[in-house]
Structure formats: structure tokens, C-alpha cells
Amino acid sequence: MGKFVKIPIMGFMLFCVLAMVIEAENMKYKDPKQKLGVRIKDLLKRMTLEEKIGQMTQIERKVASAEVMSKYFIGSLLSGGGSVPKPNATAEDWVNMVNDFQKGSLSTRLGIPMIYGIDAVHGHNNVYKATIFPHNVGLGVTRDPELMKRIGAATALEVRATGIPYAFSPCIAVCRNPRWGRCYESFSEDINIVRSMTEIIPGLQGDLPANMSKGTPYVNGKTKVAGCAKHFVADGGTVNGLDENNTIVDSKGLFSIHMPAYYDSVIKGVATVMASYSSLNGERMHANTHLLTGFLKKRLNFRGFVISDWEGINRITNPANANYTYSVEASIMAGIDMVMVPNNYTDFIGNLTMLVNKNVVPMSRIDDAVKRILRVKFVMGLFEDPLGDLSLAKHLGSPEHREIAREAVRKSLVLLKNGKTAEQPLVPLPKKAAKILVAGTHADNLGYQCGGWTITWQGVPHSNLTVGTTVLDAIKKTVDPATQVVFNEEPDTNFVQSSKFDYAVVVVGENTYAEVNGDSSNLTIPDPGPSIIQNVCGAVKCVVVIISGRPVVIEPYVEKMDVIVAAWLPGTEGQGVADVLFGDYGFTGKLARTWFKRVDQLPMNVGDPHYDPLFPFGFGITTQAVKGN
């Protein structure tokens, strides 16, 4: 009797093995030789609703674990501003953390890898020892698309060095009012400069191959990252420059000022687009079906995915979270594909599941969103190579990248005034001087130099936030060894007058801020900046270097200052400031923003009928390098 039992069992086992082999052979989504469309279609048909909605969910690393990733099929993780594995984390710390989460995703039935995103908006700015490039407000001054491409490539390498494949960059807003707290994230008030700066996208992602159709996302392997054009659309045009406010603009203004950089980004293969917190003519962008789906996806043929901003869907209602179920419905139906939840993910998953089961959100909309997310993941090679490794760790803060950042600092400086008269220029400064004064709150402060979105969300107003060169350090390295450099952060007039300085360099400016915390109605240099200018410049020849995320009020002090340099937010490589001040390189920067006289003129942009600037758009005094100074 026993013999008869064994044969069917053996046969059944053989059948199971054969079935598994056939199934594996039919798993076309796992085969990189298959066409992209075939892989997407094959995987999508295998997915349950639960797995699909998981792909549409992005959560903060603080609420994640390998178990959460596998249980809820989470499609994406992010680090918000300042969200790090531990203080001063190394590349290895980052890689290990990301890989632990990824292993949770890979352990699921279908093994769909998650995509980890981070704000790398001026270099890999959350990460200790990373190269911090100038913020966009300075980079626009360079008018150098090739430099932007190199910055993108360097940033991609540093992001990949920490095991992360997705950067929420670039911001292609056109800031039309410097009162806006995000103005430093904008390259210019002029759309032509912003458009040219989208060359950072092929830097981040790689050059789109000639045979790829326009609008298809493209990421060229493990040294590149998926980019994100943001914030769609017109976030730089809000009323009074208030963050997350309403932009009132007609169709001509929208499509001639705020939209064109998105055409370029899509043509260059940008992988993702982030919706804006702001409203357009009263309609929240996170719920704007006409522009997210009708224009971006259908008209521009954008085939990557649209991601929400942090709790962006919650803010569709006023007040926020007034009706979360409605917010989920409105955002998904408008065309948001992935939701940056980022914390209460069970609420989001539960609401969207219920809306699909009740046929309020059709399965076709879910499938469209998931196809787009999978397309990006397949294109960037995440299925073949899901884990970060330490082979790229050497690129984090590398000398080569710091050299690019230093070049960017040099090219982003704008010389607004040089000498009390044009016949008596003061810069280039002589390196050989008996005694010079360096003064000001921002002279020896890396935190102020880097600005917001550096190590933490709001930035760190202290010198020791990361590794870099302050302006004071740079001056000491640049002057003749015999020159005495005296640093006094807040000198009084008596000190300056009695100390017999040859000249002084005063470095003052704005405090650190990000987003709404930076909204300003007065745009003044905070105390003690103005009093330092008065005390020093009234007593000795002075160069004033202004560290700021935008033009600020300086008209009352212009006469008193011998030299005025707009240095914006230069980042970690302060040596670039000294390079130009002392004539190793010439000043070449031209204003990419209008420098106003008074805030009551704002908004005021080049071409406006009431245009009456202190320094016009495009202004900048050029100097020549001095040999043997």
C-alpha cells in the first residue's frame, strides 16, 4: 500500500517544482533583457490592491523599519530636513540604514525595491562632511549651465555615496518677490536663466540617450540619482511673497514665466515632479487636475511620477486636515502618484483603500500611478541593483567636489561697488598689508555661510555644523604670511580708529531660515549687522561682504561702504570669496535678481513699468585677476 502513496507524492512534488520553474521563467519583470513596457505590465498584473497602494506611499525614515516596509509594501522612504541615522553620521552609517530598510522591501512576495529620497538641494546638504554648494540664488548669477551640470554630477555621486538613489532637486521656481522665504532656492527672477540652469538635471541623472522618447524618465546607473523638478507650478509668484500662498496670474504669465522650465526638465528626462503647496488663482496645486494631469502628463507627455510635498495633500483643505478622506481623493484624482505622507501612513493607506473599494477612485487611476512609479524604479536599475554599497564613499566631500564648489562661489559673487569713486577701486585687495581687520557676525560662521537646508531644515547658526572653510579662514590662508589678521566680530569705533588697520573686511547678513520661517516683510540685515557696518566703515576703508538668501535693504549704508560684495549663501567653500577679493580671480558675476532700494517697491522685476532699482538686473562690476599680488 505504501508504495502506491509515494509515487503520487513524488509526482506532485515534481509538478510543484516544474510549476515554480515555469513561474520564475514567466516573471518577466525580473528579466532586465525584457522591454520596459513588458516588465511594467508583467509586474502590475501580479500586484494586489494592497501592494499597489503601498507603492504610492512615501514615509519618513523615523517611522519606518524593515518590518513596516514588508508589512505595508511601502514604495518609498525619505529623510526630511535634518533626519539622519545619527549625529555626524558617516557614509557607512547611511548605507547600512538604507540597506536595512531595503531588505525589508525585498523580502516581500514580489520583492519590489523601495526608493529612498532626500533633499539634496545645494549638495548633499543633510549629511555631515558633504560638499555644500552655493544655494541656487548664487548659482543663477554664474549663468553657467556647464557648471550646473558638473554640480549635478558631483551631488549625485555624494548622494549615492550614502546609498540613496533619489534627490528632491532642482527647485525651478521663478522667485518674483524676495520677501519669499524660499527665494534662495530660485535661480533667478528671469525665466531664461532658470531654464538654462535645468542643465543640473542631466548632471544628476545622466544625458538622455538620443533614441529615448521625450518625457520618459532616465537615470543612468549607480553613479546617478533620480531628480525632481519642483514645485509645480508658480510657487515663486505668490501674493506678497508669502510661502504656500496663492499665486494670482493670467494664462500668459503662467506659461511665459512659471511653466517653461518644466518643459526643459521633462525634455531632459526628469524622473519626478513635486507638486507645490501653493495655490494657483485660488486652487490648491495638490488638487489641480487641469495642470497635473491635463497639462503635465497629457500635454507635456511627462511619464515619470508626480510626488506630493511633505503633508502636501493634508493642506488641500483650510484648515489643514479638516477632511483627510477628501484630501486623499482630491489629490490622487488630480494626478498625484506618490504621497509624501510622511508619518501617519496607516491613515493614508486606509483611506485610499476604502476610496478604491467604494469605486470613488477608479482602479485605472491607481494603475496609472503605480506604472509611473515602477517605470522610474526599472529605468534607474533598482530591480537589478537595489542595495547601496561603500565603493562610492570616497566621493563624499571629496577635494574634487570642493574645488567645483569653490569655483561656483567665485563665479556667483557680484561686485556692486568698488571704491568711493570709480577712479579709486579698492579691490583686488593687496595681500601684503601690515594689519587688516576682519569683522562681522558672518565672517567666521559656517552655519550662516551655508544657510537653511544645511544639516538641519532651518540650518544651524553656528560655526561647527560641518566641515568647510569660513571667510575668515580663507582670508588668513590668502594674505601674505607677514600680514597681521585681527578678527573682532563686533568692534566699536574706538577700537577700529585706534588700531591703525590698512583696511577692513566686514561680513554680515541674514540669519539662517527655510520656507515660511524666512518670509520677511522688511528684508533688513538683522542686528548687529548695520551697527558693525557703521562702526567699521566710518573709521577705515572697508569691504562689506553680504551673506544673504536674497537682496536686502542696504541703501542707507551704500555711501559709507567702499566696496559691496553680494556673496549670497556660498556654502562650505569660503575660499572662493577670498580668491576673488584678493585678485587670484576676477569678479565676473552679474545680478540674476533686481536689487531694490526700498521694500515698498516690491514686487519689482526687470521689465516692470515701475522699475527703479538700486542695482539693476544684470549689473555687476568686473575685475581682472592680478598676477603676483
Domain-wise residue ranges, the chain: 53-395, 413-615
Give the Cα separation of 602 and 616 in Å (integer): 14
Length of the chain as a residue count: 629
Of 199, 334, 335, give the one whose Cα is nearest residue 267. 199
Give the Cα separation of 367 and 356 in Å (integer): 11
Q: Rounded to whole angstroms, what are the CA distances from 538 to 87, 491, 533, 555? A: 43, 12, 8, 16
pTM of the model: 0.96
Residue 284 CB partners (closer than 8 Å, separation 6+)? 315, 316
Q: Which 8-state DSSP code applies to residue 138? A: H
Full DSSP string of 234-282: TGGG-GGG-TT-EE---HHHIIIIISHHHHHHHHTT-SEEEEPSSEETT
Phi (first) and psi of residue 464, to 5 degrees: -100, 25
What pLDDT sits at residue 13? 58
**Phi/psi-derived region of residue 143, left when phi > 0, alpha when psi is between -120 and 50, beta in every other case:** left
Residue 213 CB partners (closer than 8 Å, separation 6+)? 301
Q: Which 8-state DSSP code applies to residue 343? A: S
Q: Cell numbers for 587, please give them.
A: 569678479
Query: Bridge-partner residues for 543, per DSSP?
Result: 505, 563
Give the Cα separation of 75 and 112 in Å (integer): 8
Give the Cα separation of 55 and 71 in Å (integer): 12
Q: Rounded to whole angstroms, what are the CA distances from 611 to 174, 285, 501, 548, 603? A: 18, 30, 40, 22, 10
Give the Cα separation of 158 and 130 in Å (integer): 7
What pLDDT sits at residue 25? 58
What pLDDT sits at residue 464? 86
Of 54, 19, 56, 25, give the one whose Cα is nearest residue 42. 25
What pLDDT sits at residue 24? 56
Is CATH 3.20.20.300 the classification given to domain 53-395?
yes
Give the Cα separation of 119 and 182 in Å (integer): 14
Low-confidence ranges of the chain (pLDDT < 70): 1-25
∠ CA 435-438-444, nearest 5°, is 140
Give the Cα separation of 290 and 272 in Å (integer): 18
Active-site amino acid positions: 309, 515
Residue 134 CB partners (closer than 8 Å, separation 6+)? 122, 405, 408, 409, 412, 568, 569, 570, 571
Of 331, 332, 307, 369, give the one whose Cα is nearest residue 40. 369
CB 569 within 8 A of CB 549: yes
What pLDDT sits at residue 8? 59
Fold annotation for 413-615: Rossmann fold (3.40.50)
Q: Cell numbers for 251, please give them.
A: 494664462
What pLDDT sits at residue 628? 79
Q: Rounded to whole angstroms, what are the CA distances from 295 to 52, 232, 233, 463? A: 25, 11, 11, 45
Residue with cell 515554480: 20
Phi (first) and psi of residue 426, to 5 degrees: -100, -30
CB 179 within 8 A of CB 513: no
Of 195, 274, 289, 184, give the one whose Cα is nearest residue 231. 274
Residue 26 CB partners (closer than 8 Å, separation 6+)? 42
Q: Rounded to whole angstroms, what are the CA distances from 227 to 79, 568, 601? A: 15, 24, 36
Give the Cα separation of 461 and 613 in Å (integer): 31
Rg (CA), the chain: 27
Q: Cell numbers for 78, please give them.
A: 525619505
What pLDDT sits at residue 5? 47
Give the Cα separation of 229 and 167 in Å (integer): 10
What pLDDT sits at residue 3? 46
Q: Cell numbers for 598, please give them.
A: 526700498
Query: Bridge-partner residues for 509, per DSSP?
Result: 547
Q: Cell numbers for 337, please give them.
A: 502618484
